Chain A
Amino acid sequence: MIGLEHILFISTALFFLGIYGFLTRRNLITMLMSVELVLNSVNLNFIAFHKYLWPSGMDGVFFTVFVIAIAAAEAAVAIAIIINLYKTHRSILVDTAEELKY
């Protein structure tokens, strides 16, 4: 029997994998993918809490649907920005965008 703990374990692992990937990767697309991992771990959390703890309300399910939609919108804008960054810098590695600092 799969319980709440199993799902929470997976979602927490996904969350920290996402954060780890975001902090260590140098490629902007991979960083964006790591953020998506974080968002998906949150979706898992919401669904699991809804199914096991609070099946009467629909808050968790609705939240998941909206998070998926917003993640798509965010990815669209982020990819547009990354494409433009490629045009100006000829690279999508974060190290190349280092003009602004201190």
Chain B
Amino acid sequence: MNYDWIIGLKSELFTTLIIVVLLLIKLGKGMRNGSLLQITQLLLLVNLALAFGWNGNGYLFGNMFQASQLFGFEKAILIAGVYLLILVNHQWLEKQEHLPEFLVLMLSALLGMQTMISSGNFLMLYLSLELATIPVAAMANFDLDKKRSSEAAMKMILSSALSSGILLMGISLLYGATGTISFEALPQALKADNGLHLLSLVMIFAAFAFKLSAVPFHLWTADVYEGSPMPVTAFLSVVSKGAVAFVLTSTFYRAFQPMFETWYQLLAIIGLITIIIGNLFAIRQDNIKRMLAFSSIAQVGFVLIGISANSPAGLASVIYFVLIYVFSNIAAFGVAAVIAAQTGSEQISDYKGLYANNKLLTWIMALALFSLAGIPPTAGFFGKFFLLTAGAVRADFWLVIIAALNMMVSLYYYLRVVRNMFNTETAQPTIAIPVTVKLGLYLCVAGILITGIAGWIYDYIAMLNR
């Protein structure tokens, strides 16, 4: 009897185990929310440790599922993201009446993302993409009696249903043109100058661009982010986006490799437009969630430029960037969640005078925003630097120059938040930070600083990629 499949599937199996445990607790006598959260955190930590060790390379279920060290690391980033998210949003989660359901939905989406990363076949990709999307729409509706929440969920489920319809049309045309949907067999069958192949590439990319909220397909993002509860917004913008970025690399680098010339142009142009539009719209936002939504659109543009490099360096820089992005964005959302829990406001203009009595919160937010903007001592600078270096390999320097200029534009709206917080004209009362939230924020800060300073992290990712 061969037990290799357990090693290949260990992250997925363990996530399923957590889901089953939560369901059993829900079916049984139930539990206080505090202890339920502690159990989930503990199990997620075990899962994270498992994801780092014993990673084998191999194929399972007739090439449907691929396990490798690199995929193991990508899954570890996602699990760490969910763990930090639960820590940082402790206040909101603890108040929920239906906490077990919320956690089950969130972990199901995580399970979908893990299988999505490992998928070696478009059937598997489609199934896991849906598993990663449908629960998130249900999560967006979790503030059941709020108008905004149900509007956000409606917008999300309808537009994601249409986008998966377009993805399916692309896959069906690909199947008709080549007779295969497996990532292994597609490179031999695809031709760069075949019209049907091009059409299916564009349709599949459109669906990915929708999930990533790249520009022509970004309109749902800000509305859904603003209407959803804060943990869901953070989950959508951090974990879900990171997962789709990973899948985009593995799909394009493997299945669509022969059409490289075409998708290079596609990614470069869409990436550039995404950065510009994301930045321009972020400037005029006053709601912190909406501002972070447009900022995440702009960040996705940088990721697309990194992916367009089509090199091992491109892949490594994308993974490195997502790792930093997880830390910085969760720290920003965490501080926003603490402030919203206390003052009930999500407006940037209400952050005035926060520094007077909340020095810790202000500094964490400032650090997170500096990292998102890409200012040198923080990790965000190195993330963007590697992405742009990888993108510059093709010698399209105008691309890199416009992207770099846009980093300056982005400074305006990030620093506006910081300036508001350091405003000395007014002073806000002290905001209490619970211990768990503090722990989560400290972990994020440590992540932002250490991933930037420790060069071996990037080397480690590049080594896994070999």
Contact = CB atoms under 8 A, between A and B. Distances in A.
Contacts of A13: none
B451 interface: no
Contact of B223 (A48, A63, A100): A100
A67 interface: yes
Given A39-B168, A77-B137, A31 B158 contact: yes
Interface in B177-230: 179-181, 222-223, 226-227
B156 to A, nearest CB: 9
A17 interface: no
Contacts of A62: 123
Interface residues of B, number: 40
Contacts of A74: 130, 134, 157, 161, 164
A87 B123 CA distance: 36
**Taking each of A31, A39, A41, A59, which has the highest tally of chain B beta carbons within 10 Å of its own beta carbon?**
A59
A99 B175 contact: no
A42 B138 contact: no
Contacts of A42: 165, 168-169, 171-172
Contact of B180 (A22, A57, A85): A57
Interface in B43-57: none
Interface stretch (B146-154, B231-239, B361-369, B407-415): B146-154
Interface residues of A, number: 43
Given A38-B162, A81-B137, A88-B145, A28 B154 contact: yes
Contacts of A53: 176, 179
**Residues of A contacting B: mostly:** helix
Contacts of A18: 165
B126 interface: yes
A48 B175 CA distance: 11
Contacts of A38: 162, 165-166, 168-169
Nearest to A57: B179
Interface string B443-454: 000000000000
The 10 closest A-B pairs by CB, nearest first: A38-B165, A49-B176, A45-B172, A100-B223, A54-B179, A97-B151, A42-B168, A35-B161, A85-B150, A81-B153
Interface of B: 123, 126-127, 130, 134, 137-138, 141, 144-148, 150-155, 157-158, 161-162, 164-166, 168-169, 171-173, 175-176, 179-181, 222-223, 226-227
